[in-house]
Amino acid sequence: MSNSGTRPDSECADRTRSVRATDVKPIPQAASVLVLRGTQRAEVFVVRRAEHLRFFGGFLAFPGGKIHAGDAQIAVQSASTASSPFAPREEPGVMADFGPALRVAAVRELFEETGVLLARQPGGSFPVSCAALDQSRREILDGTQSWEHFLRSWQLTIRDNDLEPVGRLVTPEFSSIRFDTAFYVAHVPQDQAPAVWRGELQEGCFTFAHDVLSRWERGELLISPPTVAILQCLRHNSWTEGKLRLRALLQSLETGKIHPIFFAPRVQLIPLRTQALPPSTHTNAYLLGTGPLYLIDPGPADPEEQERLFDVLDEYQAHGPALSAVVLTHHHADHIGAARACAERYAVPIWAHARTADLSRDKVRIDRALREGDRLDLGKTPDSSGPWRLEVLHTPGHASDHLAFYDPHLQLLLAGDMVSTLSSVVIAPPDGDLATYMASLSRLRELPIRMLLPGHGSPTSRGRQVLDEAIAHRRKREAMLLEILARGSRTVAELVLEMYRGVPDPLMRFALWQVVAALEKLHREGKASVAGQGADAAWTLAGAERLQT
């Protein structure tokens, strides 16, 4: 129900860990295919996901999807690599832990999404694209024919050497949706042409890595972060060199190195484990700019997690641009835990709202007070077309010192704790104020937002919808509160039990804060009144509100 907002004491931290321990879920396996055309500087096929999808809706990605139970029932034929003119030689040891079911899933997903079929006929050739093949594809997609029945009726065989494995990628822990994805490479058969049918995908095309990344840098399209990382390995390189770079990257990530996560060019998301409130386990730091370079919200207090952050920052120090300042959205512990350590290690100042200096005097020293209307110079835009800047927005409510940052060029909103893509945000009086928070949300939703980057959870292209959902959630809770009060007076404890029935005990203290914040808002608006003090205080509807009810 909450994601951030307080400085958890040791009791809260212990309870948080116990909640996390019971929430471990297996990570689904998936397969993705880089379909190439050409040899040296090969083009790669990319698809654009439908706008309405909650997971990477509107983003470019590579074809692929989750493994299905039936994939394990289909045999994969072992063949000599030399017999396949379409696949480079597979290196020993690569992807040894991925079984044949993932190859089957890769072939199936590729056929369903693009019509490219990497399964061989009895004579060893690939099928030719035709109307009959399209019809079978439609039947598989609508469920009237199984994938296994299709392969059997067409007498098709999947060979292991027609897909070259290059590595695996596990979605980092910060994301609410995670996959353990096997990446393969294949060349499109000579007599087949990819065709994307509109549905979950909107379009697809062959492109050179440099061309699509240049469009991304101009702000013309969205690309999923794994796809960005892979395309950057291929950019300006032959496929042979690009493949080596890609394998090295994927192998380094398996050792625990922080992923190069870019939802926007020159804006790196660095998810770091912190003592945030459940269900969040991480706070997102952001590193952005072409010079100057700013680090927003370095949250971890744990020395080991700080070292992981330093590894990223040290690379920037070595290859440029160097860090210019640490910038804070607000004073809560899970957003400032590494601020002092970063400032001292890299000899840079800390910037934040003036009130942050008062609220975190014992934690960090604020060297520059940021205020509404300030602009932070980011250097040149990622495509070098002009100046780049961040606009400072004072957005109190979650915290009185809360700042958000807006990039009008790429239309990015760095929202801090104004919203989360994991859950609702805690409003904790007296520093938190629900009415003020609602006003700040309403103000942010008026911005043209192409990408919302929150302090907790994954960034989203549904920025305005997420803000609208946050506003609607608070209004729904307020309506529920008024409905309960209309039935008679209640104490805060009684309201919490009625409104948050089923919430785990470790989270009930946060639910209590939400009720108190809502009651204070209603009291100021003349909609609720209170008799008595302390835990026994009884809340009721105010006179005018009772008449309306």
Please indicate, yes or no, if residue 17 is contained in any of the structural domains.
no
| Residue 24: pLDDT band with limits 50, 70, 90 | low
Query: Does 40 share its domain with 108?
Result: yes
CB-CB contact of 339 with 364 (8 Å): yes
Q: Can you give the pTM of this predicted structure?
A: 0.89
pLDDT > 70 in the chain, percent? 91
Query: Are residues 202 and 325 located together in one domain of the fold?
Result: no
pLDDT of residue 5: 45
Lowest mean pLDDT among 51-60, 318-327, 438-447: 51-60
Residues 452 and 484 in one domain: no
Cβ count near 114 (within 10 Å): 23
> CA 30, 35, 39 angle in degrees (round to 5)?
145
Residues 291 and 420 in one domain: yes
d(CA 333, CA 301): 8
Say whether both 314 and 438 belong to one domain. yes
Tell me, yes or no, whether 230 lies in a domain: no
Least confident of 131-140, 207-216, 499-508: 499-508
Considering the domain boundaries, does residue 228 fall inside one?
no
CATH number at residue 528: 1.10.10.10
Kindly state whether residues 420 and 278 are assigned to the same domain.
yes
For the cut 70, the answer to whether the pLDDT of residue 96 exceeds it is no
pLDDT interval class at 4 (50, 70, 90): very low
Using the predicted structure, report yes or no on whether residue 294 has a pLDDT greater than 60: yes
For residue 31, give the amino acid letter: A
Higher-confidence position of 92 and 311: 311
pLDDT at 80 (0 to 100)? 57
Q: What is the mean pLDDT of residues 415-425?
A: 96
Helix (H) or strand (E) holding 151: helix 147-153
Mean pLDDT of 50-79: 91
pLDDT, one tens digit per residue, over 446-476 is 999 999 999 999 999 999 999 999 999 999 9
Looking at the predicted structure, is the pLDDT value of residue 87 above 50?
no
Domain stops at, among 191, 208, 225: 208
Q: What is the pLDDT of residue 545?
A: 53
Q: Report residue 255's pLDDT band, with 50, 70 and 90 as the boundaries.
A: confident
Judge whether residue 331 has pLDDT over 80.
yes
In terms of domains, do 178 and 287 share one?
Answer: no
In a domain, 18, yes or no: no
Residues 416 and 503 occupy one common structural domain: no
Write a three-state SS string for 101-149: HHHHHHHHHHHHHHCCCCCECCCCCCCCCCHHHHHHHHHHHHCCCCHHH
Number of structural domains in the chain? 3
pLDDT at 546 (0 to 100): 55
Does any domain span residue 431? yes
Band of residue 3 on the pLDDT scale cut at 50, 70, 90: very low
CA distances (Å), 130 to each of 115, 120, 134, 361, 366, in order?
10, 15, 6, 71, 67
Distance CA 249, CA 549 (A): 62
> Do 428 and 487 belong together in one domain?
no
pLDDT at 417 exceeding the cut of 90: yes
* Residues 490 and 448 occupy one common structural domain: no
Q: Long-range contact list for 227-234, CB < 8 A, 24+ apart?
A: 227/46, 227/59, 227/60, 227/61, 227/62, 228/260, 228/262, 229/259, 229/260, 229/262, 230/34, 230/62, 230/183, 231/44, 232/260, 234/44, 234/209
- Domain of residue 187 covers 29-208
Dihedral of alpha carbons 525, 531, 533, 536, sign: negative
Residue 121 belongs to domain with CATH number: 3.90.79.10
Residues 117 and 46 in one domain: yes
Give the span between the Cα atoms of 326 and 298, in whole angstroms.
Answer: 8
Mean pLDDT of the chain: 90
pLDDT at residue 91, rounded to an integer:
44
Q: What is the pLDDT of residues 158-191, one digit of tens each?
A: 999 999 999 999 999 888 889 999 999 999 999 9
Over 50: is that where the pLDDT of 368 sits? Answer: yes
The predicted-structure confidence for 27-44, as pLDDT tens digits, reads as follows 999 999 999 998 778 899
**pLDDT category, 548, cuts 50, 70, 90?**
low
Which pLDDT does position 320 carry in this prediction? 85
Q: Same domain for 292 and 427?
A: yes
Average pLDDT over residues 215-227: 96
20 part of a folded domain = no
Please list, in sequence order, all residues whose beta carbon lies within 8 angstroms of the beta carbon of residue 124, skipping any fewer than 6 positions away. Answer: 83
